[in-house]
Amino acid sequence: MAFADYTLSPGGGNYAGDVGEVLVTDYAFSTPVTTRLGTLSRPSGALGQAPSVSADGKYVVWSQCDPWTPGFCNIMLATRSPAGLWSTSQLASNGFWNPESSPHVDGQWVVYSGAESFGERDIYISSVNGAVQFRLALPGPQYYPTISGNVILFSSLPVGAGNNTGELELYMFQLASQRLWRITDTPWDETLSDISRLPDGTLNIVWDSGPVDNRDVYGANITLPPLPVTTLLRDLTETVSSYNLAQGISNALDAKLQAALAALEAARKNNLATACSMITAFINEVTAQSGKSITVAEAQQLLNIAVQIKNGMGCS
Q: Tell me what pLDDT residue 259 has.
A: 67
> 258 or 12, which is more confident?
258
Is a pLDDT exceeding 60 seen at residue 262? yes
Strand partners, 48: 64
Give the 3-state secondary structure of residue 290: strand
CA pair distance 50, 61, nearest whole angstrom: 8
Give the pLDDT band of residue 274 (cuts 50, 70, 90): confident
Q: Tell me what pLDDT residue 232 has.
A: 75
CA pair distance 31, 16, nearest whole angstrom: 35
CA pair distance 85, 58, nearest whole angstrom: 10
The closest of 144, 151, 57, 74 to 109, measured between CA atoms, is 151
The closest of 40, 35, 43 to 5, measured between CA atoms, is 35
Per-residue pLDDT reduced to its tens digit, 206-244 = 999 988 889 999 999 998 876 567 777 777 777 777 665
Reported for 218-225, long-range contacts at CB under 8 A and 24+ positions apart, including other chains, are 220/183, 222/172, 222/183, 224/151, 224/174
CA pair distance 85, 99, nearest whole angstrom: 27
- CA distances to 70, 275, 315 from 118, rounded to whole Å, are 13, 43, 38
Per-residue pLDDT reduced to its tens digit, 144-190 = 899 987 789 999 987 655 544 458 899 998 876 678 899 999 888 99
Count CB neighbours of 95 within 10 A: 18
**pTM summary value:** 0.67
Q: Is 54 exposed, middle or buried (0-12, 13-18, 19+ CB in 10 A)?
A: buried
Per-residue pLDDT reduced to its tens digit, 6-45 = 776 555 444 444 567 788 888 888 888 888 886 544 555 5
Cα torsion at 172, 175, 176, 180 (round to 10°)?
Answer: 40
Count CB neighbours of 241 within 10 A: 12
